[in-house]
Amino acid sequence: MSNGVNVSSGPRNWWRNAVIYQVYPRSFADANGDGTGDLAGVRSRLPYLARLGVDALWFTPWYRSPQNDGGYDVADYRDIDPVLGTVEDAEALIAEALEMGIRTIVDIVPNHVSSEHEWFAEALAAAPGDPARDRFWFRDGRGESGELPPTEWTSSFSGPAWSRLDDGQWYLHLFAPEQPDLNWSHPDVVAEHEAVLRFWYDRGVAGVRIDSASMLVKDPDLPEVGDHEPGGHPHNDRDGVHDIYRRWRKIADSYAQPRVLVGEVWLPEADRFARYLRDDEMHMAFNFDFMTRGWDAETLRESIETTLATHRDVGAPPTWVLSNHDITRPVTRYGRRDSSFSFETKRFGTPTDLERGARRARAAALLTAALPGVLYVYQGDELGLPEVEDLPAEVREDPMHHRSGGVDPGRDGCRVPLPWTSGGKAFGFGGPPWLPQPADWGRYAVESQLADPDSTLSLYRRVIGLRRELRDADFAWIPTDPQVLAFRRGEDLTCVVNFGDAPAALPDHAEALIASARLEDGRLPGDAAVWLRTRPSHQ
Ligand code: NOJ
């Protein structure tokens, strides 16, 4: 199965057309039967991932962590969380995956650490004003006795972004209180992250995904969030953040096989987003504009056009993302009346039509796989898993849910452990899963889908294989009805997606290569997509 790729000798631009599979390790496969996925579980399933045809795995944080935010609260970057395994397991996994032609990308969380990180413990043990506090944002409060937080800033997980200590000082956390924000003007913070990058690069990882990448730099004067010029927000997208990534890019480029930087950059303005992709900064960033849009021809066409233009200008490959560990599963989302996504509108009791959502999610897979650039697949989307919306209150872990007072359903529903077998204990996942799987999940299991050529898994395998032929083929729209999107890739391939209800006629073609739903008398049904070979193949 080896294709001889190794991290020092592979093609330098492997990432430009890659398929990158996101592993949420706690929920992928549990080898030791304790109910939480682990690295040994991932190793045991590498043949599955190789057969799926992915080029790289992105692991959400696997470091030692009290798991107050699913691992995005890192206590020690140089250690693997004991629930998942050991550093030796990670090394073995990286090496074995590479032998199968699969690279590894790890998550770096530079905006904050866990409150159990040794630096924060030192800061808490120190008195106000002690230099040990300077690696974070400790401040006195406002009001007569400092009883008011230093600013009115709010946390992304609801409530104030400041928490107060018994000694009266406040510290900043743009996420949960267990995730204190680092002070990026402190030399230790800069040096430590650069050392951590090298630590993992030296263990063979091919790149890093950078968490909350636009939020690291803060205005030291701590003004309130108000109207501001681009770059003038007090704690997001400040211009100084780019210096950090320029330094990181130099480190990445210093390796014989340059490492790759992938940004989690949530910004509404395309031009501000593109600044992170300049050729001395990140290699690529997640396309959240596309991901959050509803299932609608016009809105998606507009997003595709903006994406292609923005990326063309900076020479970075676009990325196509349907979901991740923070987002409602596409099958559930696309079945809703409003199929766009936003954290603010995510609420319990929003109806969905799962059958329709599943049809659309299959079509979306064909659409995204046909577009130029990098394709991201979140684990379980290749199985067409729906969001689990009825998890009992007592098993929900996500701070987004708890800190909203239970109003926000949180992100546990897209993190339920994968089903591997159609029956048996935990559907082949391992021990009793940390989040319970719905009783009917056997029908989504890998085992069930392998036996079915029309399954979503079979669709993904096939389309990922076909996609390899597209490489850098050029892109051109084909004029169609407003309910239909059609485009050509190179001379040979046309992708057509029908967003309407009525079947759509197809352009002239030699052969239908793959379709998300059965064609009806040569026409493409609604909520479906097809790849057409435009000229007869030369065989
Ligand atoms: C973005 C991550 O994707 C999310 O899961 C996490 O909660 C926040 N950043 C904070 O680290």
Each residue's pLDDT tens digit, 280-315: 999 999 999 999 999 999 999 999 999 999 999 999
Question: Residue 474 belongs to what H/E stretch?
Answer: none
Give the C-alpha separation, 385 to 344, whole Å. Answer: 23
SS3 450: helix
**Both structure tokens of 504:** 């759509």
Specify the residue with its C-alpha closest to ligand 1, atom 2. 211
Hunting for tokens 């590479």 — which residue is that?
Answer: 98
Rg (CA), the chain: 23
pLDDT of residue 12: 85
**Both structure tokens of 41:** 């579980």
Q: Which of 326, 327, 328, 403 to mutate to test the pocket of ligand 1 (most atoms within 8 A of CB)?
A: 326
pLDDT of residue 202: 98
Residues in contact with ligand 1 (CB, 6 Å cut-off) = 69, 72, 109, 175, 211-212, 264, 325-326
pLDDT in tens, 210-219: 999 999 999 9
Ligand 1: distance of its center to the CA of 72 in Å?
6
284-285/319-321 β-pairing: unpaired
pLDDT of residue 5: 46
Ligand 1: distance of its center to the CA of 458 in Å?
31
How many contiguous H segments (helices) and E segments (strands) does the chain have?
Answer: 14, 18
pLDDT of residue 3: 36
Atom of ligand 1 nearest to the CA of 109: 11
Atom of ligand 1 nearest to the CA of 324: 3
Contact residues for 454 (Cβ-Cβ < 8 A; gap 6+): none
Q: Which of 23, 65, 212, 398 to mutate to test the pocket of ligand 1 (most atoms within 8 A of CB)?
A: 212
**Which amino acid makes up residue 332?**
T
496 forms bridges with which residues in the sheet?
486, 530
Low-confidence ranges of the chain (pLDDT < 50): 1-5, 9
Give the C-alpha separation, 33 to 479, whole Å. Answer: 54
Integer angstrom CA distances of residue 426 from 22, 75, 397, 455, 498: 21, 30, 19, 21, 37
Which of 321, 322, 213 has its CA nearest to residue 277? 213
Hunting for tokens 């089903």 — which residue is that?
Answer: 419
Q: Is 500 exposed, middle or buried (0-12, 13-18, 19+ CB in 10 A)?
A: middle
Atom of ligand 1 nearest to the CA of 400: 7
> What is the DSSP secondary structure assignment for residue 242, as one 8-state letter?
H
142 forms bridges with which residues in the sheet?
148
Specify the residue with its C-alpha closest to ligand 1, atom 11. 72
pLDDT in tens, 233-271: 999 999 999 999 999 999 999 999 999 999 999 999 999
The torsion angles phi and psi of 70, rounded to 5 degrees, stand at 50, 35
Atom of ligand 1 nearest to the CA of 69: 7
**Which amino acid makes up residue 65?**
S
Q: Is 285 exposed, middle or buried (0-12, 13-18, 19+ CB in 10 A)?
A: buried
Which of 28, 164, 13, 14 has its CA nearest to residue 103? 14
Q: Which of 23, 105, 108, 175 to mutate to test the pocket of ligand 1 (most atoms within 8 A of CB)?
A: 175
pLDDT of residue 91: 98
Q: Which residues are catalytic?
A: 211, 264
Q: Is 442 exposed, middle or buried (0-12, 13-18, 19+ CB in 10 A)?
A: middle
Query: Hey, CA dihedral for 96, 323, 445, 498, is it positive or negative?
Result: negative
Give the C-alpha separation, 450 to 101, whole Å. Answer: 22
Residue 231: CB atoms within 10 Å? 14
Give the C-alpha separation, 29 to 45, whole Å. Answer: 8
Ligand 1: distance of its center to the CA of 71 in Å?
9
pLDDT of residue 538: 60
pLDDT of residue 10: 61
pLDDT in tens, 421-437: 999 999 999 999 999 99
